[in-house]
């Protein structure tokens, strides 16, 4: 499986496990199984939280890797004039990242368990090495919609490459 796709799928599982944004369309950029078929009227059903993961980059040792992930909240400014909806989604995304980060280093917790199980199922050769906070995205306009993002970096190694 594609590594960014596996990470997106795992974050999807972790966010859904928290049941924080049940009324929101959650979408993985690399994962059509969790996405709607393209349709201009439905594809970006709003409100939406989109998970986008970069391709892996090798560390200096060329044995470990990292992927940068953006979790982007998007709302329609017409129905979210006071930005309460996008703020709720941004907070939920940050809370999910905070929980995942805390639980990863504690070695236990429901958010981490959902993330780890999804990673292992999707990509058994990937071994999590750590998580760090990534670059956030300041609020911006996305095709007329309002968007803001939080970031996470997933550090890992892989077996079977050499």
Q: What is the pLDDT of residues 106-153, one digit of tens each?
A: 999 999 999 999 999 989 999 999 999 999 999 999 889 999 999 999
Residue 41 has a pLDDT of 52
Look at strands 145-158 and 64-75 and give their pairing: antiparallel
The pLDDT tens digits for 24-56 are 888 888 875 555 444 445 555 788 899 999 999
Write down the pLDDT at residue 21. 65
Mean pLDDT of 56-68: 92
Which DSSP category does 64 fall into? E
Cα 40 to Cα 12: distance, rounded to the nearest angstrom: 23
Structure tokens at 48: 């939406």
Cα 148 to Cα 43, 48, 89, 103, 136: the distances in Å are 19, 11, 9, 24, 8
Answer with the residue of higher pLDDT: 23 or 149: 149
Distance CA 38, CA 96 (A): 27
CB 85 within 8 A of CB 79: yes
pLDDT confidence of residue 44: 57
**Domain residue ranges in the chain:** 3-158
The CATH architecture assigned to 3-158 reads 2-Layer Sandwich (3.30)
Model confidence band, residue 11 (pLDDT cutoffs 50, 70, 90): very high
CB count within 10 Å of CB 149 equals 24
Structure tokens at 98: 């905070």
Whether the ω angle into residue 97 lies within 30 degrees of 0, i.e. cis, is no
What is the structure's pLDDT at 159? 84
pTM of structure: 0.88
Would you say residue 19 has pLDDT above 90?
no
pLDDT class of 162 with cuts at 50, 70, 90: very low
């Amino acid at each position: 499986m594609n590594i960014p796709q596996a990470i997106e799928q795992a974050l999807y599982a972790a966010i859904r496990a928290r049941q924080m944004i049940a009324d929101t369309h959650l979408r993985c950029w690399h994962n059509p199984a969790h996405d709607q078929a393209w349709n201009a009227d439905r594809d970006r059903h709003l409100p939406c939280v989109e998970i986008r993961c970069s391709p892996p980059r090798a560390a200096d040792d060329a044995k470990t890797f990292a992927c940068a992930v953006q979790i982007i909240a998007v709302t329609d400014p017409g129905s979210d004039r006071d930005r309460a909806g996008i703020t709720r989604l941004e907070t939920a995304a940050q809370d999910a990242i905070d929980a995942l980060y805390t639980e990863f280093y504690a070695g236990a917790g429901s958010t981490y368990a959902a993330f780890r199980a999804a990673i292992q199922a999707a990509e058994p050769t990937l071994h999590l090495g750590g998580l760090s906070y990534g670059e956030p995205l300041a609020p911006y306009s996305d095709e007329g919609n309002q968007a803001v993002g939080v970031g996470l970096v997933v550090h890992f190694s892989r077996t079977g490459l050499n």
